Structure 1
Amino acid sequence: MSRDTEDGATPRTQRVPVGADPTKPNAARVYNYMLGGKDNYEVDQILAHQMLSVAPDTRTTAWFSRRFLLHAVEFAAEAGVRQFIDIGAGIPISPNVHEIAQKIEPSARVVAVDYDPVVHVHSNALLGSTAGVTAVLGDIRRPAAILEQLRAERLIDFDQPVAILIVGVLHYIMDDEDPAGIIATLRDAVAPGSYLAFTHATVDTHADFIDRSSSSTAGSSAQPRYRTRDEVAALLEGFDVLEPGVVTVQDWLDDDLPATKLVVLGGIGRTV
């Protein structure tokens, strides 16, 4: 048994969603609410406001994380990448990945991957008619299965560079679910000149926020695992890490943005 399981984290098999459960918070729906979206339930709003009661700037952190995602897409597209895999894509909110990528290169292809069947339905409804955009059901904790599907359906050409986006996801992966192994599997599958952009909440977050968010989400897909900066930085092993490195998402965007109680790091790596 892993340390996280001993400390109360829910084992992998119990964390896989089987459909919409309005009695348990969902990370994608909480994030949607924080960004002003309408695709969420009361239980998600309650958790969001519990977080906001401890850290009123959490909505600001969500916005910073979203801007980091779009910045990474723009960066990769301007570097010539024409394929994007958004893992843990969540419920689409404009501007979305494809809007940024296709503004730079109209032929850009985007695959939005999420493991929640309800999120997948939303994505299909909102993105299904958009040229070059495909929503697929897939679990980041099973990266080989995602890669196999993308190859089988010829959604991604892995002989060409691709940008993999994992924003707001990895801190929901428990230690026994092997986040480093997940990243390594994805890294080894892509061509040189590919990019990985990710975010991750850290233990530098305000202690009351960690306690509240952990206790309120126990047993749900929104249960977090906060990690140290060194643990987060280690996830980019094997990549050429772009400057300014693995730093707060604020530092990726602007030197003058305020610190927030929820501390989220961002990093971008390039395969060589």
Structure 2
Amino acid sequence: MSTPSPPAEGNPRLLDPSELGTKDYWNKAYTRELSNHATAPDDEGTIWFDESNAEDAVCRLLDRLEEEGHFERATARVLDLGTGNGHMLFTLREEEWEGELVGVDYSATSVELARRIEEARQLDDGMGVRFEEWDMLVQPPGDWCGRGGFDVVLDKGTFDAISLMPREADEVAVSDVYRRTAEGLVKTDGLLVVTSCNWTKVELCGWLAPEEGNLEFLQEAKYPSFKFGGRTGQSVVTIAFRKKSATLEDHELI
């Protein structure tokens, strides 16, 4: 396995609340996509960060990590946090990931859409995908979590949405709940792979891999960069974190 090199430290900023951080927004969005899918089964809804080809970038990153020995797709258990229409997990099945794939979302209409798409795709018996409704900020994991945790946990914009939630309390506290919950879902030496359009590499590491946590920076996905105002950047980042060790708190969660 490769040796991770930590990025420079940074102080995370706060984002202004947005309707994108509300369950009502996503329920309405997936209700529209359910209606569209019912009318045209080939219409499976929005592919997350499609304009940046983020799904392809994540798959390439996972390919590299598998080559380095972090997991084997034939047996890896994968959890998709904020699964939406489930497209990421369907893509993994197409890429011959044969282990258990689970998608969770706090929007009931999202889960219904993903299940209907799975049915329309007519996946082979034993090679389907499990979709469950779950709010990671307020609910304990269900039986879908199992006892050992997941080899790979994917987040494609869920941390972004949480960062945009209307704040009745300190956002740092909500982000800390996210980090501790995510840590508990990942098995020791397993991976949390987070894709964001709101945070930089340094900021994501500041939120999710503080010294007191159990996650450490491992690798970053490759995206095209652009230059503006003399500075170089990119519109989306994907970071793979590795879980360093298990704690009593983790065992209580899973």
Question: If the length of structure 1 is used for normalisation, what is the TM-score?
Answer: 0.57
What 5-or-longer segments of structure 1 have no aligned partner? Answer: 30-36, 45-57, 202-225, 252-256
2:59 maps to 70
- C-alpha distance 228-66 of structure 1, shift in aligned 2 (>3 A): closer
- C-alpha distance 69-89 of structure 1, shift in aligned 2 (>3 A): farther
User: What is the DSSP-based 3-state SS (H/G/I as helix, E as strand, rest coil) of the residue aligned with 2:104?
Assistant: strand
Q: In terms of mean alpha carbon deviation, does 66-75 or 115-124 score higher?
A: 66-75
What 5-or-longer segments of structure 2 have no aligned partner? Answer: 1-12, 34-41, 164-170, 228-232, 245-254
Matches within 5 A, 1:27-176: 38-40=43-45, 59-61=50-52, 63=53, 65-75=54-64, 79-80=71-72, 82-93=76-87, 96-100=90-94, 103-104=96-97, 106=98, 108-127=99-118, 130=123, 131-132=126-127, 133-142=129-138, 144-145=139-140, 147=141, 149=142, 153=143, 155-159=144-148, 161-174=150-163, 175=171
* Aligned match for 1:236, one of 209, 213, 222: 209
Inter-partner Cα distance in structure 2 for 1:93 and 1:114: 13
User: What is the DSSP-based 3-state SS (H/G/I as helix, E as strand, rest coil) of the residue aligned with 2:226?
Assistant: coil
Matches within 5 A, 1:168-207: 168-174=157-163, 175=171, 178-201=174-197
User: What is the DSSP-based 3-state SS (H/G/I as helix, E as strand, rest coil) of the residue aligned with 1:162?
Assistant: strand
Displacement of 1:99 = 1.0
Cα deviations by residue, 1:14-48 (Å, 9 ceiling, x for unpaired): x2239853xxx56x96xxxxxxx8345xxx9xxxx
- Aligned Cα root-mean-square deviation (Å): 3.9
Whichever structure has more helix as a proportion of its residues is 1
How many residues end up aligned between the 2 structures? 197
- C-alpha distance 268-158 of structure 1, shift in aligned 2 (>3 A): farther
Say if 2:80 and 2:89, in contact at 8 Å, map to a contact too: no
- C-alpha distance 74-125 of structure 1, shift in aligned 2 (>3 A): farther
Inter-partner Cα distance in structure 2 for 1:93 and 1:271: 25
Matches within 5 A, 1:15-34: 15-17=22-24, 20-21=27-28
Whichever structure has more strand as a proportion of its residues is 2
**2:226 aligned with 1:259, yes or no?**
yes
Matched residue type, 2:23: V
Displacement of 1:181 = 2.6
1:32 maps to none
* Percent identity (aligned): 13
Question: If the length of structure 2 is used for normalisation, what is the TM-score?
Answer: 0.61
Matched residue type, 2:209: L
Matched residue type, 1:67: D
Say if 1:87 and 1:112, in contact at 8 Å, map to a contact too: yes
